[in-house]
Amino acid sequence: MGAGSWGTALAKLLADNQHKVLLYDRAQNTIDEINTQHSNLTKLPNSFLPETVKATTDLVEAVSFSDIIVISVPTKVIRGVLGEIAQVIKTPKLIVNTSKGLEPETHKRVSEVTNEEIPENLLKGFVALTGPSHAEEVIIGLPTLVCSASENIEDAKLIQTLFSNTSYFRVYTLTDLAGAELGGALKNIYAIASGMLDGIGYGDNARAALIARALVEMRKLAIALGAQEETLYGLTGLGDLVVTTSSRHSRNFQAGVKLTQGKNLNETINSIPMVVEGFRTTLAAYEAARELQIETPIIDAVYNVIYLRQEVQTVVKELMMRSLKDEFIPFKMTKEN
Ligand SMILES: NC(=O)c1ccc[n+]([C@@H]2O[C@H](COP(=O)([O-])OP(=O)(O)OC[C@H]3O[C@@H](n4cnc5c(N)ncnc54)[C@H](O)[C@@H]3O)[C@@H](O)[C@H]2O)c1
């Protein structure tokens, strides 16, 4: 579901692994390009697909074709897409989500949204496939390691086997589904922050500091929202945090850079497409942190730029002016740390 950059890269991976793949998207031109040219160059340079990969705009065809439904649409539309699937699904399916984000207002993870939208008797299981992975690298076969996370270890193992190969894609299993989903979602906020620092001309020192402090902040919030601590130091937490705060492939990073450019912040924000997952997740995480009374200075800074239209320089200055404190108290995290 979703023949964008990530859906296309995963379709190639699965076809390389000798599985049958049918891509679904609502964009007719994308589907036509895949079926006739065996490429999706508009979405992803270098995306040349095996001829076995087919594509359709027909949701009924896509759902009835599959034993396993892999979701790769922006989280903004996931509830709607799952609702559409629920209308046409006839037999139980395993759902694999690869999209990263939290729903504003409800603060829900995609697994929770899925449980609400797909009737229990038609949902065979739920797996989040997540970790440090840029489509641009997977499509050309560069080594990538991710996690198959599910509360049901058998489902996690099945997806591990289907997606892993010995040449470029290695999948670990994980049973901390909440931790995996939270790490994947929250890191996008820090990618925006990293882009903002880059945009105002800061260097490696600032980025390294951001990553370290982001991990402390992410740990506090994610644990309060149900994650297990060790998950945040693995591929789906620290791994994804590093790749997305350090790479120009990241759309969230690029959006952060853009926020520092242009004369009018309002215009700049309105010109950034909402597939930048971190925008919505910033709102969700900001609201969740306020509700839980957890101090999240970096999330607040990004929120202040995007939603209160404060200048990047101003919020960065405020971060530097926070009261001086210990880095952390070992083995005893405090909410204020
Ligand atoms: N791009 C990556 O490297 C990457 C890696 C890991 C995870 N992800 C996650 O995957 C998700 C998708 O990202 P992307 O980069 O592929 O985005 P994208 O913009 O390249 O693709 C999204 C696709 O979804 C389709 N779409 C949108 N609304 C739809 C609807 N209602 N019904 C059917 N199709 C619809 C669009 O037409 C588009 O083809 C995001 O949550 C992102 O965080 C992306």
Residue 100 has pLDDT above 80, yes or no: yes
74 within ligand 1 shell (Cβ under 6 A): yes
Q: What is the distance between the terminal CA atoms of the chain, rounded to a whole angstrom?
A: 40
Residue 274 has pLDDT above 60, yes or no: no
DSSP-derived 3-state class of residue 129:
strand
236 within ligand 1 shell (Cβ under 6 A): no
Counting ligand 1 atoms within 8 A of each CB, the residue from 25, 59, 88 with the most, and so the one to mutate, is 25
What is the rounded CA–CA span in Å between residue 254 and residue 45?
A: 17
Provide the CATH number for the domain formed by 5-175 in this structure: 3.40.50.720
Question: What is the CA(206)–ligand 1 centre distance, in A?
Answer: 30
Assign residue 329 a region (left: φ > 0; alpha: ψ between -120 and 50; beta: otherwise). beta
Average pLDDT over residues 190-219: 96
Average pLDDT over residues 84-95: 98
pLDDT at 329: 59
pLDDT at 253: 94
pLDDT, tens digit (0-9, with 9 covering 90-100), for 131-161: 999 999 999 999 999 999 999 999 999 999 9
Catalytic residues: 187
The closest of 94, 91, 98, 100 to 158, measured between CA atoms, is 94
What is the rounded CA–CA span in Å between residue 73 and residue 96?
A: 12
Options 3.65.10.10, 3.90.1300.10, 1.10.357.10, 1.10.1040.10; CATH of 178-320: 1.10.1040.10
pLDDT, tens digit (0-9, with 9 covering 90-100), for 244-260: 999 878 999 999 999 99
133 within ligand 1 shell (Cβ under 6 A): yes
Atom number of ligand 1 nearest to Cα 249: 3
pLDDT at 331: 47
- Hey, where are the domains in the chain? 5-175, 178-320
* Owner of token pair 């979602």: 185
**Contact (Cβ atoms closer than 8 angstroms) between residue 155 and residue 126:** yes
What is the rounded CA–CA span in Å between residue 218 and residue 51?
A: 42
pLDDT at 225: 97
47 within ligand 1 shell (Cβ under 6 A): no
Question: What is the CA(99)–ligand 1 centre distance, in A?
Answer: 7
Torsions phi, psi for 244 (to 5 deg) = -85, -25
192 within ligand 1 shell (Cβ under 6 A): no
Atom number of ligand 1 nearest to Cα 30: 39
For ligand 1, atom 42, the nearest C-alpha belongs to 99
How much is the mean pLDDT over the chain? 94
Edge-to-edge strands, sheet with 123-130: 68-71, 93-97, 123-130, 144-149, 169-174
